[in-house]
Structure 1
Amino acid sequence: MNFQRTILLGIVLICLQSWAIAQGGRKYIRQGNKEYKKEAYQESEVLYRKSLEKDQSSFEANFNLGDALYKQDKYEDATRRFADLSDEKTDNINLGRIYHNLGNSLLNENKLEESIEAYKNALRHNPDDQDTKHNLAYAMSMLQQQQQQQQQQNQENQQQDQEGEKEQQQQQQEQDQDQEQREQEQQQNKISEEDANRILEAMQQDEKKLLEELKKQQAKAVRVTVLKDW
């Protein structure tokens, strides 16, 4: 009997302790919600984290922390928080809210395909959510626009590559033509060995004739001088 009372007393104490911890966590959640409503998102984040120190499994604290992170543009952290919550066993309304917020975080990270999938999951759990439908349509429109821009960019890049290749080929062709012209000019200016010998021989013959002519002139000059008599 005493043993049974000890067990029951232990169970009661454990329950009371758990209740006290949960109450402490709830207190921080309430304080965090007040700060959140005042748009003091950083302060609300701190309070939600304090609540989770008391009770890590608190769905409300985890969800609200994700919201506070999102409001501070901490989209990557918010994405992780909502992704973890998506594994929670809860009702469809809550799951729809989780996936909706997950889609918003992913959208702000420009992860369009992942955000679209998150919105679709939200609608699977809560098909009547008009906000999710609107965000899904927006994300799909953004993805289509992005794909069109990417396709246009690819076409422009391809056209630039083709133009660059064409210009390079034209430059190469001009270089080849210039090289060919230089070679032709060099060939025209080039004198064969036979021509060079012939020119040299002609020059030597001219020089020989010139020397002979000079000798004749000198001989005439001498004879004229001899005939003079004072």
Structure 2
Amino acid sequence: MRHIPTFLLCLAMAAVPSMAQNSRDYMRRGNRLMRDTAYAKAQVQYQKSIEADNANARAHYNLGNALMMQSKAKDAMKEYETAVKLEKNKLRLAQMYHNMGVLLQAAKQPGKALECYRQSLRNNPHSAETRYNYALCLYQLKKNGGGQDRKDQKQDSDGQDQKKQQDKQQQQKEKQEKRDNREKERQQQPDPQQMSRENAEQMLKAAMQDEKETQERLQKALRQPHQKHLQKQW
């Protein structure tokens, strides 16, 4: 016999006077459509209710139910998660956590589902449906030895290891780039010793050129005839 976790489709009724009238009206319309199994149309009304009052926890919860009935589990979970953050009533919190557990159990994540059922029972320990789902989930978890939860943990661990490896490679790349930049700057900067050698060579060439010109002038002067200089007599 196949055991299927029960799903609480209890629609929260809008009755808090402080809520905007439009939000309550849209939610009532959505509730009527849910009873008529018009889930897509109900979804639209709940979305309008949330637009009118985004802090309406029950509108988020009911929207989650409408999405759940359309097999939109991921979107439904987001609405439930928002609802539990806003809701203060313990009985409604129990319903929200219960349905979150059902979604996780259907996704073959019994460990996470079990925690949601625990939260549900903390808020309403008298729920027979939640106790049944909790026991079924616990049985599945023991039977599978952790199953998908361990796989998810391994994937998370692998993802973290991969990120660490990528970070390490990035750090090594940055270090190598810094070393390359320093080497490039060093090559671009003139070597003081090289400058000294070049200056010395230039100075030597200049001195040799001056010496050559001096010798040429001296030889030219020696080739010219000597002129007598008369001393002036006073």
Query: What's the TM-score bracket when you normalise by the shorter of the two chains?
Result: 0.5 to 0.7
Contact persistence 1:21–1:54 (CA under 8 A): no
Q: What CA distance in whole angstroms lies between the structure 2 residues aligned with 1:61 and 1:127?
A: 24
Contact persistence 1:75–1:108 (CA under 8 A): no
* Mapping 1:72-87, distance limit 5 Å: 72-87=70-85
Deviation of residue 29 (structure 1)? Answer: 0.8
Contact persistence 2:111–2:141 (CA under 8 A): yes
SS of the aligned residue for 2:71 comes to: coil
Aligned match of 2:50 in 45, 49, 52? 52
Q: Which residue of 1 aligns with 2:26?
A: 28
Instruction: State which drifts further: 80-89 or 112-121.
Output: 80-89
Q: Which residue of 1 aligns with 2:86?
A: 88
Q: Which residue of 2 aligns with 1:137?
A: 135
Structure 2 regions of 5+ residues with no counterpart?
1-16, 149-234
Q: What CA distance in whole angstroms lies between the structure 2 residues aligned with 1:99 and 1:53?
A: 23
- CA 1:96 to 1:144, structure 2 compared with 1: closer, same or farther past 3 Å? same
Deviation of residue 24 (structure 1)? Answer: 1.2
Note the alpha carbon deviations across 1:147-201, whole angstroms, 9 max, x for none.
2889xxxxxxxxxxxxxxxxxxxxxxxxxxxxxxxxxxxxxxxxxxxxxxxxxxx
Structure with a larger share of its residues in helix: 1
Aligned residue pair count: 132
Contact persistence 1:75–1:106 (CA under 8 A): no
SS of the aligned residue for 2:37 comes to: coil
Q: What CA distance in whole angstroms lies between the structure 1 residues aligned with 2:46 and 2:60?
A: 7
Q: What CA distance in whole angstroms lies between the structure 2 residues aligned with 1:87 and 1:93?
A: 14
Query: Which has the higher relative contact order, 1 or 2, with Cα contacts under 8 A spaced 6 or more apart?
Result: 2
Instruction: Letter of the 2:69 partner, please give it.
Output: K
Structure 1 regions of 5+ residues with no counterpart?
1-18, 151-230
Deviation of residue 21 (structure 1)? Answer: 8.1
Q: What CA distance in whole angstroms lies between the structure 2 residues aligned with 1:79 and 1:64?
A: 12
Aligned match of 1:127 in 125, 149, 152? 125
**2:109 maps to 1:101:** no
Aligned match of 1:111 in 109, 133, 145? 109
Aligned match of 1:62 in 45, 60, 63? 60
Q: What CA distance in whole angstroms lies between the structure 2 residues aligned with 1:80 and 1:59?
A: 12
Q: What CA distance in whole angstroms lies between the structure 1 residues aligned with 2:50 and 2:68?
A: 18
Q: Which residue of 2 aligns with 1:193?
A: none
TM score, norm. by length of structure 2: 0.52
- CA 1:149 to 1:82, structure 2 compared with 1: closer, same or farther past 3 Å? closer
* Percent pairwise identity: 32
Q: What CA distance in whole angstroms lies between the structure 1 residues aligned with 2:26 and 2:128?
A: 32
Contact persistence 2:50–2:60 (CA under 8 A): yes
Q: Which residue of 2 aligns with 1:201?
A: none
SS of the aligned residue for 1:87 comes to: helix
- CA 1:58 to 1:21, structure 2 compared with 1: closer, same or farther past 3 Å? closer
Deviation of residue 58 (structure 1)? Answer: 1.0
SS of the aligned residue for 1:68 comes to: helix
Deviation of residue 128 (structure 1)? Answer: 0.8
Structure showing greater radius of gyration is 1
Instruction: Letter of the 1:54 partner, please give it.
Output: A
